[in-house]
Amino acid sequence: NAGVTQTPKFQVLKTGQSMTLQCAQDMNHNSMYWYRQDPGMGLRLIYYSASEGTTDKGEVPNGYNVSRLNKREFSLRLESAAPSQTSVYFCASSRSSGANVLTFGAGSRLTVL
């Protein structure tokens, strides 16, 4: 049982390049989330999807787009990467949007030069 799988684990981009972080869960969870983690800042919510077909902005959505491709997959896209987007990105899922037990993926470390 893989849980939440994120790809890639590491990525280096140049300013202005685009990329997509992929996330898939095999727990039949309804809700999925993207957080970013920066030193001293904790985990900040970028976007979430309460259920298949819906997405909503979190605390720090600027510069990002998301797609809930199906119930399993939730991708995060950076259209024009900036150095301020250098961070560790975590995808998470939960049984529902009201459930507070999140299962996190292993994280994706992104560096923008």
Partner 1 sequence: GQQVMQIPQYQHVQEGEDFTTYCNSSTTLSNIQWYKQRPGGHPVFLIQLVKSGEVKKQKRLTFQFGEAKKNSSLHITATQTTDVGTYFCSNSNSGYALNFGKGTSLLVTP
- C-beta closer to partner 1: residue 1 or 100: 100
- Minimum CB distance to partner 1, residue 62 (Å): 17
Contact flag: residue 74 with partner 1 (CB under 8 A): no
Instruction: Encode burial over 4-29: b for 16+ CB neighbours within 10 A, e otherwise.
Output: bebeeeebebeeeeebebbbbbeeeb
87 is an interface residue for partner 1 by CB under 8 A: no
Using DSSP's 3-state secondary structure scheme, residue 90 falls into strand
Nearer to partner 1, 36 or 78 (CB): 36
Residue 43 makes contact with partner 1 by CB under 8 A: yes
Using CB under 8 A, list all residues that contact partner 1: 31, 33, 35, 40-45, 48, 50, 56, 58-59, 90, 97-98, 100-107
